[in-house]
Amino acid sequence: MWGFFIFGIFQNITYICFMSEVDYNKLRLDVLEKMIHTRGIECKMRKDEMIKMLRLDDEGKYEPPMKETTYIKDGNGFIVGIDIKNKNHLIQIGNLMIKKEARNLHRYCDDRLQYWSTQKLI
Please report which confidence band the pLDDT of residue 20 belongs to, taking 50, 70 and 90 as the band edges: low
**Which residue would you say has higher pLDDT here, 8 or 25?**
25
105, 41, 25: which is closest to 70 by C-alpha? 105
Instruction: Name the residue ranges covered by the structural domains of the chain.
Output: 2-59, 70-117
Q: What is the pLDDT of residue 9?
A: 52
- How big is the CA angle at 108 (ends 106 and 111), to the nearest 5 degrees? 155
Q: How far is residue 69's CA from residue 44's CA, in Å, rounded to a whole number?
A: 22
pLDDT band at 65 (very low <50, low <70, confident <90, very high): confident
* pLDDT for 21: 75
pLDDT at 22 over 90: no
Please give the Cα distance from 59 to 54 (Å, whole number): 9
102: nearest Cα among 66, 68, 76? 76
Q: What's the confidence (pLDDT) of residue 47?
A: 93
